[in-house]
Amino acid sequence: MQKTTLTLFELNSLVRDVLETTLDSLFWVEAELSEAREVRGHCYMELVQKDIFSATPIARASAKCWKQRWQVLRPKFEGVTGQPLRAGMKVMLQVAVSFHEAYGFAWIVQDIDPTYTMGDMARKRLEIIRQLRQEGVFDMQKELTIPMFAQRVAVISSESAAGYGDFYSQLSNNDYGFKFYPRLFAAVMQGERVEQSVVAALNEINRHVDDFDVVVIIRGGGATADLSGFDTLELAENVANFPLPIITGIGHERDESILDMVSNTRVKTPTAAAAVLIDNLVAVLSCINDYERRVAMRVKQVMDKERRRLDRSAERVPMLFSLVKTRQEAHLDRLMSRMVSLVNHNVSTAGHRLQLASANLLPLVERRLERANNELGRLEFRVKALDPQLILRRGYSITLLDNKAVRHADQLKRGDHIVTRLEHGSVKSVVE
C-alpha cells in the first residue's frame, strides 16, 4: 500500500482547522502565572496548574494578550488589584484557542477578572497574618519604643529614589536644627527582588545593630501599584523579629502592606517618616524643657525654704549667743577658781618640801667640803713630792732637747743642741 504523507505545514493547518472548529467559543480558565512579561506592548504569559499536595505542575500553557487588548485590560486589572501581573499570582482569564502553523498552540486572552486575583491575594494575606499571629511575632515590633534620642538612622531604600532624597532633605533641613546621622542600605524597592533585597539589607544592619537607634524602610518614586513584594511571609518575619524599631513609609493612604502591619510605626510617605523622627526629638526637647522648668521651680522652692529657715536661725543667734556666753563665762570662772586653788596647794606642798630639803642639805654640804679638803691636802703633798726642783737639790740634773726631757741616749744624734738644768743654772751643749 502507498503511504499518505503530509507536510508539517499541512499537518499544522489541519490541527488549526480542527481546533478552531471544535473549540470555537471563549473559555474562562483559572491558573497561576509562572511568568508575565511585556514585549513591544504585548503581554506574554506562562500559565501553570500545580498539584495541591506537592505543588508539582500538572498542566502548562502559554497565553498572549495582544497590544490593543492589553492596553484596555492592564489599567482595569491594576486599578482593582493595586498590582501589576507578576509570577506567582492566581488569575482568571477569558481565552480563545489559537494555533499557528509556525508558532504553535497558545491561548489568546480576551478578558481578565481582577476580583478573582483580589480574592486570592486577600486569602494569601490573611494566611500570612494568621501564621504571624500563630508564631507570636505579629505585634513584637509594637512592643519596642523609639529611643528618646533616635538620631542614628539606618535607611533601607533605593539609592536613586526620589523618596530617599526627600527623606534626607527633610531630616537635614528641619526647623529645630537637630542633627541626624542617616546611613543608606540600598535595596530594590519594587519587583520580584524586593523580599530578597530588603532582607539582605536588614541582615547587614543587624551585623552593626549597636551603631543605630532606628530603622526606616521607605519607598518613593516607584509605581504605587507594585506593593506585592512587601506582602511576603519571610520579609514580615524578619521585620517583626528585628531588635530595633522599624518605621515604614512605602505606601499611600489606601495601601497597607503586611510589612506596614508588623512594623513599629507606619506612615504614608518618606517625608512623613522623617517627620516621625523629628517629632520624636521635639517631644524629647519639650520634655527636657519641662523638667528644666520643674527643677528650677523646685530649686527655688527649696532655696526659699532654706532662706526662711536661715532667717529664723539668724534671729535666734543673738539670744543663743548671749546664753552661751553666760554659760561659758560661768564655766571659765569655775575653772579659774579650781586652777588658783590647785596652784596654791602645789606651791604650799613645794615650799614644805624645800624646807625639808634645806634642813637636810647643810650637813651634807659640810661633810662633802670636809672630804674635799682632805683630798686636796693629799694631792698637795703628792705634788710637792714630785717637784723637779727637789730632785735637782739632791745633785741630779735634767737634760732637755727642744724643752723635752731626754730619757734615753738613742733620742740624741750628732749636732743636736741640748740644755742641762742643774740646781743652780743650766748648761747648753752640742752632741758630737
In the chain, domain spans: 8-121, 130-283, 387-431
Listed in sequence order, the residues at least 6 apart from 340 whose beta carbon sits closer than 8 Å to its beta carbon are none
Name the CATH superfamily, with its identifier, for domain 8-121: Nucleic acid-binding proteins (2.40.50.140)
CA distance 323 to 345: 33
- Residue bearing the bigger pLDDT, 395 or 188: 188
Q: For residue 393, is it left (φ>0), alpha (ψ between -120 and 50) or beta? A: alpha
8-121 and 130-283 share one fold: no
> So what's the pLDDT on residue 313?
78
CA distance 113 to 125: 19
> So what's the pLDDT on residue 327?
86
Confidence bin at 348 (pLDDT 50/70/90): confident
The answer to whether residues 393 and 375 touch, using CB atoms and an 8 Å cutoff, is no
What value does the mean pLDDT take over residues 320-334? 82
φ/ψ of 103, rounded to 5, equals -110, -5
Query: Which cell numbers hold the place of 110?
Result: 480576551
What value does the mean pLDDT take over residues 346-363? 79
State the CATH architecture for 130-283: 3-Layer(aba) Sandwich (3.40)
Q: What angle do CA 154, 270, 130 make, to 5 degrees?
A: 80
Query: Which cell numbers hold the place of 307?
Result: 532662706
User: What is the per-residue pLDDT across 247-282, written as a single tens digit (0 to 9) for each?
Assistant: 999 865 556 788 999 999 999 889 999 999 999 999
Instruction: Identify the weakest region by mean pLDDT among 51-60, 135-144, 154-163, 207-216.
Output: 51-60
SS3 label, residue 160:
coil
User: What is the per-residue pLDDT across 152-207, written as a single tens digit (0 to 9) for each?
Assistant: 999 999 888 888 999 999 999 999 999 999 999 999 988 778 889 999 999 999 99
Q: What is the pTM of this model?
A: 0.55
Instruction: Identify the weakest region by mean pLDDT among 1-5, 24-28, 156-160, 376-380.
Output: 1-5
CA distance 267 to 284: 20
CA distance 221 to 265: 21
Share of the chain above pLDDT 70, in %: 96
